[in-house]
Amino acid sequence: MSFILSAEARRDPAALPYYEFVAMIALLMALNAAAIDVYIPALQDIGSALGVVDENKRQFVITAYIIGFGGAQIIYGPLSDRFGRRSVLFAGLSIYLLGAIAAIFVPTFEALLFTRLVQGIGAAATRVIATSVVRDRYHGPQMASVMSLVMMVFMVMPVFAPNIGSAVLVFGTWRELSAFMFLFGLAALIWAWARLPETLNPADRRPLRIKPVAEAFRIVLTNRIAFCYTLAMASFFGALFAFISQAEQVYTGIYNIGPHFTIYFSMVAVFMAASSFANSRLVSRFGIKKLSHGALLGFIAVAALHLGLAMAYGGATPFPLFLTLFVIMMCFFGFVPTNFNAMAMEPLGRVAGVASSVLGSAQTLGGGLLGGFIGYLYNGTLIPLLSGFLGLACLSLICVLVAEKGRLFGAAPRAVITKP
């Protein structure tokens, strides 16, 4: 059997075996996580090589990608509904590869930030198309099963990506790291081109129109539950992106961990992934609101405690205490995003497909901007980061209270908005 699907097989959504399909979708999702986290151990080298005097500006390498990734998601949904999943995926991956290969040769920091923005814009296609092809091919419990496997890989990638980055830096510089990410994206493109069939039924292709996107925006902005939970997610993601941006400075600048700080970064990611997995097992038993609202309150309590202790210790808690409290916070974090996103989607009815792109774009872009702002406030202590954690979590709680009319832990919303 040929590795490359025939023209006829490419028109059959079921042509790809189940496990290969899951592995391919997981790889496409993992590309995004890797493109963010693999650069964390290289930020100091990038700053030194490109003459970045302000150390906090090195974080923009992460922020630029997140902004591109968040902002571009909204365009790929309508494009893939019109032109098909394969062509839009290949266009996005091609844009990503152009940005990745350009990053190898950039002469200035500003040029590197532009290439990272381009990478994010291109890679946004993988996030949207991965979800779309699963929805095209599977339904109901089987779709949920596939997405659970895919998301498990996506959540585990932050455990490995910084260590992969450190390993590459042993043998080269951040430019070789950019080359590695180019090869990663190229491998994904070749595999998808050779083996991924077109999953969108020709009869389901829709004209490319602005109206459905505008309608989805209108519903998200005017529906209290959808709008407030979207803001809550953006605020909460801001805390995560702030940590990612400051991680290298916190571990190496405050605690003098050295290059192997990625091990501790991965340890935190392991607990966050484990709590996300536990959420999938516990949500049917305890309810989506009890778990997510309780986790948000727990996150706020630990963030406040950590901030108070950091102030008492003169700016930073001892490392064992820091790591313990951070692990606890990330455990709480893992119970929030999936549940908040589900509640934001609950009232959106028939516009759920386009609205999903709107929500994903707003949450990632908003979180990226908030996280980048907090990350830039780093001053050699934990105070800006923990203050940002507490402030953003409290803002998220306010949004939840508005969505729920002041009641937490209640029954899930049932009202559905349909397209007029």
pLDDT at residue 48 greater than cutoff 50: yes
Closest C-alpha among 414, 358, 374, 419 to residue 72: 358
DSSP-derived 3-state class of residue 29: helix
Confidence of residue 398 (pLDDT cuts 50, 70, 90): very high
Encode pLDDT of 109-132 as tens digits: 999 999 999 999 999 999 888 888
Closest C-alpha among 12, 26, 4 to residue 200: 12
CATH 3.30.70.1430 fits 209-412, yes or no: no
pLDDT at residue 329 greater than cutoff 90: yes
Residues in CB range of 61: below 8 A, 6 or more apart: 39, 43, 46, 112, 113, 116
Distance of alpha carbon 26 from alpha carbon 34, whole angstroms: 12
pLDDT at residue 58 greater than cutoff 80: yes
Which pair of tokens denotes residue 45? 């080298």
Output the pTM of the full model.
Answer: 0.84
Residues in CB range of 100: below 8 A, 6 or more apart: 115, 119, 178, 181, 182, 185
Report for 56-65, 95-104, 272-281: range of highest mean pLDDT: 95-104
Encode pLDDT of 289-327 as tens digits: 888 899 999 999 999 999 999 999 999 999 999 999 999
Per-residue DSSP letters for 101-117?
HHHHH--SHHHHHHHHH
Check if 8-207 and 209-412 are the same fold.
yes
Closest C-alpha among 25, 147, 33, 142 to residue 85: 25
Given this structure, which CATH class describes domain 8-207?
mainly alpha
Domain ranges of the chain: 8-207, 209-412
